[in-house]
């Protein structure tokens, strides 16, 4: 099917569906061959299987992608202006995959969990998920005020990490028998060098601007600091990446 007008009812319906974010989101869009291929590599895992392919979108004049034939989906061929609008980018991708989102994971938390509390920038959240996945974390908790992990910018920033980690939203810290840390540069926080990073580790990362200043953490959560020189604090995703790497380093991975 070829669609070239923004007034086309099917295109307008697609835009409205994708504009629903957060817990209301039922569909997402994988933009570009690299992201689609990253999902395809993980579609047999629990995290990857949460995205169920629904429709292939191809830029007008682009050649079919091998996965397009393999998935055997209905294909919409979109004009350049329409594909650019969906991608919210100056250069439109040649291919995109519309996917339906399945239910979030449930049950006990796995051994390594990252938590994003109030992370507002989709790029920051994507980078945080990417760092966690790179060093062996298995699930991400999305606390109050956290941006949408399936926003196109989050997916681009995660570079496929959203297909490696279970993602579940929560309204409060779900304390369990694990070791809970909240990254915090305030006085009195435990230095990273002194932290026990073994066992069932849960690492919480607060808002980019005010951190944990407006959040009441449970008593069982320890505040964890990364010593710095010359700067007050680190970017949330950078700080999380340092701790995730240190955990893997201590385990010899």
Asked if 152 and 25 count as a contact pair (C-beta separation under 8 A), the reply is no
Assign 174 a pLDDT band (cuts: 50, 70, 90).
very high
Q: Which alpha helices (DSSP H) does the chain contain, by range? A: 9-19, 33-42, 46-49, 66-71, 80-87, 122-134, 152-158, 236-250
Asked if 187 and 228 count as a contact pair (C-beta separation under 8 A), the reply is no
With a cut of 80, say whether residue 176 has pLDDT above it.
yes
In angstroms, the Cα distances linking 27 to 23, 54, 97, 235 are: 11, 9, 10, 29
Q: Measured between alpha carbons, how far is 187 from 214 in angstroms, rounded to an integer? A: 16
Share of the chain above pLDDT 70, in %: 99
- pLDDT (tens digit per residue) in 57-98: 999 999 999 999 999 999 999 999 999 999 887 789 999 999
- pLDDT (tens digit per residue) in 224-238: 999 888 777 788 889
Please state whether beta strands 139-142 and 201-205 pair in parallel, antiparallel, or not at all (unpaired). Answer: unpaired
Q: Measured between alpha carbons, how far is 190 from 193 in angstroms, rounded to an integer? A: 8
Tokens 């933009």 correspond to 31
Q: What is the mean pLDDT of residues 172-197?
A: 92
pLDDT for 214 equals 72
- pLDDT (tens digit per residue) in 35-59: 999 999 999 999 999 999 999 999 9
Q: Is 23 helix (H, G, I), strand (E, B) or coil?
A: helix
* Angle, vertex CA 110, rays to CA 107 and CA 112, nearest 5: 145
The pair of three-digit structure tokens given for residue 59, joined into one six-digit string: 């830029």
Q: Measured between alpha carbons, how far is 10 from 90 in angstroms, rounded to an integer? A: 23
With a cut of 90, say whether residue 215 has pLDDT above it.
no
pLDDT for 25 equals 86
Residues making up the chain, counted from first to last: 253
**Across 56-60, 117-121, 192-196, least confident range:** 117-121
Q: Measured between alpha carbons, how far is 82 from 18 in angstroms, rounded to an integer? A: 14
pLDDT for 187 equals 82
Across the chain, mean pLDDT equals 91
Q: Name the pTM for this structure.
A: 0.88
Its sign, for the CA torsion 168, 208, 151, 243, is negative
Q: What is the mean pLDDT of residues 231-250?
A: 89
pLDDT for 125 equals 93
53: which DSSP letter?
A: E
Its sign, for the CA torsion 162, 105, 245, 205, is positive
Assign 251 a pLDDT band (cuts: 50, 70, 90).
confident
Q: Which residues of 202-227 are buried (b: 16+ CB within 10 A; e: fewer)?
A: bbbbbbbeebbeebebeeebebbbbe
Sketch out the chain's domains with CATH numbers. Answer: 2-101 (3.30.1330.30), 112-250 (3.40.1280.10)
pLDDT for 227 equals 87
What are the two backbone dihedrals, phi and then psi, of residue 106, each rounded to the nearest 5 degrees?
-140, 175
pLDDT for 116 equals 95
pLDDT for 235 equals 85
């Amino acid at each position: 099917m070829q669609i070239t007008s923004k007034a086309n009812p099917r295109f307008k319906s697609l835009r409205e569906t994708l504009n629903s974010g957060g817990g209301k989101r039922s569909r997402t869009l994988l933009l570009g061959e690299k992201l689609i291929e990253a999902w395809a590599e993980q579609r047999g895992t629990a995290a990857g299987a949460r995205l169920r392919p629904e429709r292939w979108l191809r830029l007008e004049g682009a050649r079919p992608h091998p996965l397009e034939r393999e998935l055997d989906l209905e294909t919409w061929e979109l004009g350049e202006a329409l594909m650019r609008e969906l991608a919210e980018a100056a250069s439109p991708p040649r291919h995109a995959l519309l996917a339906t989102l399945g239910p979030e994971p449930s049950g006990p938390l796995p051994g390594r969990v990252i938590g994003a509390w109030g992370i507002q920038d989709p790029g920051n959240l994507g980078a945080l998920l990417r760092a966690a996945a790179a060093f062996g974390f298995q699930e991400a908790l999305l606390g109050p005020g956290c941006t949408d992990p399936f926003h196109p910018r989050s997916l681009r920033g995660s570079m496929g990490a959203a297909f490696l980690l279970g993602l579940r939203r929560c309204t409060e810290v779900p304390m369990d028998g694990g070791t809970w840390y909240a990254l915090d540069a305030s006085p009195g926080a435990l230095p990273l060098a002194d932290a026990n990073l073994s066992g069932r580790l849960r690492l919480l990362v607060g808002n980019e601007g005010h951190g944990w200043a407006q959040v009441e953490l449970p008593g069982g959560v320890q505040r964890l600091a990364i010593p710095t020189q010359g700067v007050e604090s680190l970017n949330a995703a950078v700080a999380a990446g340092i701790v995730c790497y240190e955990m893997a380093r201590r385990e010899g991975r």
